[in-house]
Amino acid sequence: MNKNTKKLLALSFMAIFIVSTVSVAFLGGGRVANQVNTTTTDRTITGTPQDNYKDKDRPTFCQTGPAKSSNYITEYKIPTACTQPLAVMVDSSGNVWFTESNTGNLGKFDPSSKSFQEFTNSQWQSGEKSMMWGLGTAQDGNIWITDSQHSLIWKFNPVDKSYQRFVFPKSNSSDGSFPQMLLIDGKNAYINDFTGRKIGVFSTDNTSPDMGMTSIPAPGNNNFTSSMVTDPSGKLWYTTWIYQQGGNLVSYDQKTGSSTQYPLPQDIQAPNGITIDSSGKLWIMDTASSYFFDFDPASKKFTKHTTSPPPVSSYGNASGLIKTPISRPYWDHFDDNGRLWFNEQVANSFGVYDPSAHSLVEYEVPSKNPNWSDCAPSSDCGVAQILDFTVNHNKIWFSEWVENNIGVLDPSVPLPINVTASDSSITIHHGQNATVLFGINPQEQLSSPVSIITSSTVGSQTISVKAQQTQVTTNAPQTVKVGITADNFATPGTYEVLISARYQDVTVSKYISVTIE
């Protein structure tokens, strides 16, 4: 990949992945980052991975403070400074494994002893960095890792602590290869080549130098190929897309080698995460908005859902220029209770959607790095860059890329409030309105007001939503009237409105289905 292509990819990351600073400052302009110059005067040499950054950049990429906790989330500081943890998984023994994108090492955290181990990759050259998105355990116990910057796949043997590397097949795409996420299903491993327009497939039993990898070409000429999931019949599902220009949901039949494409709704601009529920529905996260979608293969219908607006503490808006903040849902997984979890990257939060209750709960992460948001000096503001997570027996383990922490969210902790809505669905006509009664029920003594927030899957030119009160101070059940109005020229259809109650670092919401006739 030449320097100009790499710069173009970095600009793509600005909208697709996180923000431009990650790609430009972290990945650099070439295939491998330059070696650290120990004679430079712009950095203090510490003998730790933070030496890969200038002194002035260390708060941005390494950390801004100690590990923190809330009622729901506990964070643990990785002993080595500035490892930049990324991919995360939990093994059968309950150990939490994570990739260190600034060291090339694999780390392990034992929740019972609260202890860390980091396994040195002797083949990794000093000063190199790579976004290591994919991580998975094979049936034989070996751990597989993707290395996007160097187009490599690594195998780690937990018994002898050894690393073995394999070259990921080059792509015919002018943008080169970018092995990203990893899915292990039985003995088969799947890796999406994000810029290379293909899915790589290999057997984890294969010991040949090239892993015996075969490629499934992504149909069409879309720029990006996102992560994948298999359904019970063995079909492989993934998305191909061009940022803000549309794309397709692809179903690939591994038995016949044929694929079926379903055009994505125009509202989906950057579909990254994809997972499947017990009924066979696909769930897709749109990282360029606050929306996520489900797709029913039987009806071939997409349904659009929304998160609540991000808390101000995540984006700051010190400049006053942010008019419509978005949450950017990224990856998604189901828990044992059939609830859909996803990380809201720029909202510094986790969301959990309950399809049966038609409800949403969002938990804000305690650590915040102000260098990634529009924060005022000395404010409690920012994001920890939660770029990956995993669900293990209804606990959520995650990494904080710029705060050097591993964290766990325990959703069994009781919520401070619960909410109700008088209607789960309403039907209104053009130019008409309806009122929904939104109930707030404290479950503990509240020490601060509850904010009432609304959002919807369409703009105000279709539906406007207005709560009678924007804040409620109460320690007793209270009801707030919420007006929902259809525009005179609204397009007929069914949409979703989300009514939320935000109390400190948790937001509890109910969805209302609104049909305009």
User: Per-residue pLDDT tens for 329-379?
Assistant: 999 999 999 999 999 999 999 999 999 999 999 999 999 999 999 999 988
Reference 165, options 180, 150, 177; nearest CA is: 150
Distance CA 295, CA 118 (A): 40
Longest Cα separation, the chain: 71
Q: What does the DSSP 8-state code read for residue 22?
A: I
Question: Over the stretch 275-311, which tens digit does the pLDDT of each residue have?
Answer: 999 999 999 999 999 999 999 999 999 999 999 999 9
163: number of Cβ within 10 Å: 19
Q: Which residues contact 466 (CB under 8 A, 6 or more apart)?
A: 454, 482, 483, 485
3 state DSSP class of 421: strand
Which residue type does 406 have? I
Which residue do the tokens 């597989």 mark? 144
Please state the pTM of the whole predicted model.
Answer: 0.93
The dihedrals phi and psi of 238, each to the nearest 5 degrees, come to: -160, 175
Using an 8 Å Cβ cutoff, are 201 and 193 in contact?
A: no
3 state DSSP class of 167: strand
> What is the band of 40 on the pLDDT scale with cuts at 50, 70, 90?
low
Q: Which residues contact 254 (CB under 8 A, 6 or more apart)?
A: 234, 235, 236
Both tokens of 72, joined, read 């729901």
Question: Over the stretch 378-405, which tens digit does the pLDDT of each residue have?
Answer: 889 999 999 999 999 889 999 999 999 9
Paired with 240 in beta bridges are 225, 248
In words, the CATH class of domain 417-516 is: mainly beta
Residues of the chain above pLDDT 90, percent: 86
pLDDT at 259 over 70: yes
Distance CA 391, CA 89 (A): 8
Q: Measured between alpha carbons, how far apart are the two ends of the chain, in Å?
A: 53
Using an 8 Å Cβ cutoff, are 406 and 98 in contact?
A: yes
pLDDT at 28 over 60: no
H, E, C per residue of 52-119:
HCCHHHHHHHCCCCCCCECCCEEEEECCCCCCCEEEEEECCCCCEEEEECCCCCEEEEECCCCEEEEE
Distance CA 342, CA 420 (A): 23
Distance CA 237, CA 173 (A): 21
Question: Over the stretch 55-67, which tens digit does the pLDDT of each residue have?
Answer: 999 999 999 999 9
Which residue type does 230 have? T
The dihedrals phi and psi of 149, each to the nearest 5 degrees, come to: -70, -35
DSSP secondary structure string, 436-502?
A: EEEEEEESS---SPEEEEEEESS-TTTEEEEES-SEE--SS-EEEEEEEEE-TTPPPEEEEEEEEEE
Distance CA 297, CA 178 (A): 29
Q: What is the residue extent of each domain of the chain?
A: 417-516
Distance CA 333, CA 435 (A): 34
At residue 394, the pLDDT reads 85
Q: Which of 16-30, 79-93, 145-159, 413-427 has the lowest mean pLDDT?
A: 16-30
From its phi and psi, is residue 84 left (phi > 0), alpha (psi between -120 and 50) or beta? left
